Amino acid sequence: MNDLDGASNPAIETKLWLAQRISAVILALMVFVHLGTIMYAVRDGLTAAEIIDRVGGHLGWALFYGLFVAALAVHAPIGIRAILAEITALPRKRIDLLCFMAAVLIAYLGYRVVRDFYALGSIA
Amino acid sequence: MSDQMLTVLVWRGTADKGRYIEYKVRGLENHTVLDVVTYIQRYLEPTLSYRFSCRVGMCGSCAMTVNGKPRWTCRSSVSKVAPGGKLKIAPLRSMKIIKDLSVEMSEFFDKLARAEGRFHPTSNRQNDFNHVKPDSVKRRLASDGIECIGCGICYASCDLVAWKSNYLGPAALNRAWTLVNDVRDGAHRKRLNAVAGDAGCHACHSQQGCVESCPKNLNPTASIAGLKRVTAIAVLKGELD
């Protein structure tokens, strides 16, 4: 689809591909740590207090999940962009706009979670 | 398989208007699918359209969809591809049907040109011969993809081609990769620009349908991965437009 939708830009497309691959490497490592922590943390059951106790106010975890969110905000929209271009007849510019909005939304929602968990440390 | 009566369903008509017609053909032990189609055309259905030329797996003109898979019919033995004696023969996927089993392949070949699949010489007959060592890395990479016969089987087996009609496809990108590794070629940058982008190598999902179906046992997915690597390096060097 989108045959007559203008020539794509080789440099931009290649940079997006590269950005998606690099963010994939970051995510692969981080998901490993993330899942490992979950498996370790739930060994005696799972409580909100325990999570806040571990993550709240901890700068290391805030930076870790900050990078996690950033990698996700780069990785996912580029993939969605490719899928939309393949399975819908939407114009290229519309797809780019939708995916940019998805990136901003993922980054914003993720940032809020990281910020709020960090802030919870001062309450606990 | 001993000799047996084959039930052969053959696509007749065009994409818009057509259907499978059943023929009974006596199959012989050494029959190829092309032999069966030829028998039908000569003795049962003289108006059946199909394409073939060399009959020995060199020219790449006789590709058809056989029992759901794209194959070179001249080298596909009926006993291997249809052990039960039932054949369903259709034109190649992702190409416009001209009539019956003949497809319009110009889009496929245009894409070879669009991917800069043409050799751009850097020397002429006044120059000395280029010396390319057979065991050099680039020569080996080129050799891995060079035996393509342009049959279109990889193209028909590629889901991405079916979904995204401007995608250059495995054959064109494989051809470009052989030329990227040709040290005598002078259009390196132009070619990388032609194959980078959402209609080129970066669109490939590495599903490897092309690898699975290539009758010459080539690996277009590996060639496309090679293009992804070199274009990524090129963009970092500022060589892409």
Please tell me the total count of domains within chain B.
Answer: 2
Provide the 3-class DSSP secondary structure of residue B126: coil
Flag whether B241 is in a domain.
no
Asked if residues B100 and B50 have their Cβ atoms less than 8 Å apart, the reply is yes
CATH number of the domain where residue B218 is located: 1.10.1060.10
Residue B26, H or E segment: strand B18-27
| Residue B160 and residue B98 share a domain | no
Nearest to A81 by CA among A59, A97, A65, A68: A97
Helix axis angle for A10-41 and B188-195, nearest 10°, is: 60
> Is the pLDDT score of A4 beyond 60?
no
Q: How many CB atoms lie within 10 A of CB A86?
A: 18
CATH number of the domain where residue B86 is located: 3.10.20.30
Fold for the domain defined by A10-123: 3 helical TM bundles of succinate and fumarate reductases (1.20.1300)
| Residue B132 and residue B93 share a domain | no
Question: Would you call B28 exposed, middle or buried from its count of C-beta atoms within 10 A (0-12, 13-18, 19+)?
Answer: middle
Which of A2, A13, A14, A83 is most worth mutating to test chain B (most B CB atoms within 10 A of its CB)?
Answer: A14
Reading phi first (left if > 0) and then psi (alpha if -120 to 50, else beta), residue B19 is in beta
| Residue B115 and residue B231 share a domain | yes
Cα(B166)–Cα(B153) distance, rounded to whole angstroms? Answer: 17
| Residue B115 and residue B68 share a domain | no
Nearest to B183 by CA among B128, B93, B122: B122
First to last CA, chain A: 54
Cα(B31)–Cα(B55) distance, rounded to whole angstroms? Answer: 12
Note the ipTM here: 0.85
Contacts of A18 in chain B (CB under 8 A): 232, 235-236
Domain ranges within chain A, ordered by starting residue: 10-123
What's the pLDDT tens digit per position in B167-210?
999 999 999 999 999 999 999 999 999 999 889 999 999 999 99
Contacts of B164 in chain A (CB under 8 A): 1-2, 85-86
Asked if residues B190 and B116 have their Cβ atoms less than 8 Å apart, the reply is yes
Give me the percent of chain B exceeding a pLDDT of 90. Answer: 92
Which of B160, B202, B237, B241 is most worth mutating to test chain A (most A CB atoms within 10 A of its CB)?
Answer: B202
What's the pLDDT tens digit per position in A31-42?
999 999 999 988
Average pLDDT, chain B: 95
Please give the residue range of the domain that contains residue B18: 4-104
